[in-house]
Structure 1
């Protein structure tokens, strides 16, 4: 029994390495009106819960559950400075401290520890990100993470399963579409959705847009299931829409009164019907005139930033139309793939049409190595 105090001290330092002094700092900045004693008690409860989730015995003569009686209001715990009526102390803490306490836990422990507080159960998630190369063995686990994030009213959800190195046929996670066929009230708090290497259909994206009134940012990359997409609604709050490198993508219609940034790369039939606030565009492909410049002809004059992906080859000649004056354009970037026998002279009119251009960037890639040009010396004449 003599070893118990030392064991508890080691565990306390392991799970709460900065001790009470950290709580004083937090109180001074974020928890005005909450006594240090209250915060200390809450940290004690939190540390005890941590030990409980780890399957370790509490350093008292009764179990944690018995000692608190599931935090019944009539329950007292311990003696001395920890002998106050707990009465769900965690619920009295501000959100900043609750989040800080949760940061010490793994995801599984955070879910299990939520039994300590009714308010903790109702706490919303600000951001939930998953980033690693996908393996099908983790599918059920990831489904559980997504369910957890959605159930907690997550605001920003990011699922990034990009491969760690270039490979043929990278694996993709299939978004659990069935979760959203009914009962969509749980996603109404979503403001940002980012999906990389995720199987997701255009219909599901439209479902998100229809049922997430606060959604402002949508980014999808390397999905093979999107064919057609309709972004349409006078009440849409969507400001940022980028659909990148989706190989089966064929067409998109846009009616978005608040859209400010639009990204679309590939040979995709594009109809921008209404986007009065559009300022930033990233578009292009094999035929940039057909798939980028013409669809945006009504909005070019209001753009402040333009990134164009351009492919120049002997088989597809690039002939730019005559531009109206691009008075608002400040940043222009070309990402050009060309054969070494081709010329970039045809792109000059775009620069000439932007009298107030401040920054120009050219990324040039050749499909073939540059050929060595021989300079023929003229013969001397007598």
Structure 2
């Protein structure tokens, strides 16, 4: 049995009173560690409202080892009240004040000496430095293991010169050695020196993610004692070099300027993501990069130069262990993805293919081509988001149906991939466009005998 926390019941409380209390409320009879485990599954704001249930519950929520403040859903509220992306600064500022006060309230009341996880997700910047400094100090004094600061803008366009919060723990008088296992920084400026200090003085760090930092220039991820297993460096526009020497690294995600990366020094990667808008990987180098990783099990690529890959279709190296491939494709109806026949040939164990279409509209079109015949035995599922049913995606569907022996289904979704897992998730595309795509899918199923293997969601 775990401990019981009864802040309002002192030693003089009679046994009869406790029996009556327990008889009325079986859940309240559970030990604190069980109640805390239950509350840990709830958003922290919801968990805190349980303090209103009774005296027994008044302080239980304060023992939850995770503080997660994700206000991305607030985006929908702001969007609805401000007519889309036409911002009302006064309303947005009031939301920020409320959010900051909420976080400060929880931080000031938290009684435990340590915390497992601390996560902030809201539109904040340098103007909120005093409050964010307070949270950073709290995180490191409480010896947090998993930390995420995500200050991405939720409403409107990103200004070119947006002032970002600068993370500098040492200036706050915090210890250099920390028990971090995961550190995620999004839309936070962090210097080369600070990042190097984290890597050097966090012996248990396994996951590091930095997105949109403008102060990163020369990143060094190296060292014999480095235990890092997952690394993401994305959208850092001033990055000039990335030095890698991490034999334990299993997952690498790099979206950024085209720089020379010593991929040979991360020999044990099983997952690689490279390139995204506006940082596509150069088609001429893609084959050479992939030769370092014959053991990859998952590969994610952003493809902008479709014609360049068509010319180099035979440069895709053998990848016998690859199980999953994710492609974000920027293409027009004049392009063709039939070069994927060579890629499938090189990946005999591939069982899932995900395609996210980014359409470039032209008034011109072309006839459907027939790809070269191949036979693939492992691919089971293909999912296409942003599907429009034009020549290029229809052509690919036909090729897959003819070439993949045990294909179970092709799932097509007219909604673009950026809607997944975010505030847009329940917002469908224009109903007229969705209806047109659905009609095209039904036409394909009847004309080319796709049957139940072609599914629209």
Please state which band the TM-score falls in when normalised by the shorter chain: 0.5 to 0.7
SS in 1 for 2:354: strand
1:297 correspondence with 2:310 = no
Q: Which residue of 2 aligns with 1:99?
A: 63
Q: Select 1:173's aligned residue among 164, 171, 179.
A: 164
349 and 372 in structure 1: CA distance in 2 versus 1, 3 angstrom threshold: closer
| Kept after mapping to 1: 8 A contact 2:244/2:263 | yes
Distance 1:212 1:102 in 2: 20
Conserved 8 A contact 2:137-2:172: no
Q: Kindly report which structure 2 residues correspond to 1:342-381, keeping only aligned pairs within 5 A, or say none.
A: 342-369=335-362, 371-373=364-366
The match for 1:193 is 183
The 1:102/1:312 distance shift into structure 2, 3 A limit, reads: closer
Following TM superposition, by how much is the alpha carbon of 1:206 offset from its aligned partner in structure 2, in angstroms? 1.8
2:210 aligns to what? 220
Q: Which consecutive unaligned segments of at least 5 residues does structure 2 have?
A: 1-7, 9-21, 37-53, 68-100, 369-457
**Residues 287-327 of structure 1: per-residue CA shift (max 9 Å, x gap):** 4445554234221x100000111112679985245344211
Tell me what 2:264 maps to.
Answer: 273
Structure 2 CA distance, aligned partners of 1:316 and 1:138? 46
**Is structure 2 residue 112 aligned with structure 1 residue 126?**
no
Structure 1 residue corresponding to 2:226, chosen from 236, 245, 268: 236
Q: 1:131 to 1:287 in 2, by over 3 A?
A: closer
The 3 A distance-change label for structure 1 pair 339 and 143 is same
Which of these residues, 277, 286, 308, is aligned with residue 280 of structure 2? 286
TM-score, normalized by length of structure 1? 0.65
**Aligned pairs (5 A) from 1:1-382:** 22-27=27-32, 29=34, 99-100=63-64, 108=104, 120=111, 123-169=113-159, 171-177=162-168, 179-180=169-170, 185=175, 187-266=177-256, 267-284=258-275, 285-290=279-284, 292-299=286-293, 301-312=294-305, 319-320=312-313, 322-369=315-362, 371-373=364-366
Structure 1 residues 374 and 22, CA gap change in structure 2 (3 angstroms): closer
In 2, the alpha carbon distance for the partners of 1:318 and 1:193 equals 41
RMSD: 3.7
Q: Distance between the aligned counterparts of 2:309 and 2:355, measured in 1?
A: 20
Is the contact between residue 289 and residue 320 of structure 1 (CA under 8 Å) also seen in structure 2?
no
CA-CA distance at 1:21 after TM superposition: 5.3
Structure 1 contact 129–158 (Cα < 8 Å) conserved: yes
SS of 2:304's equivalent?
strand
Query: Per the alignment, in what secondary structure is the counterpart of residue 368 of structure 1?
Result: coil
Residues paired across the two proteins, number: 292
**1:338 CA drift (Å):** 2.9
The answer for unaligned runs of 5 or more in structure 1 is 1-7, 9-17, 32-42, 51-95, 115-119, 376-382
CA distance in 2, matches of 1:227, 1:102: 33
* Bigger Rg over Cα: 1
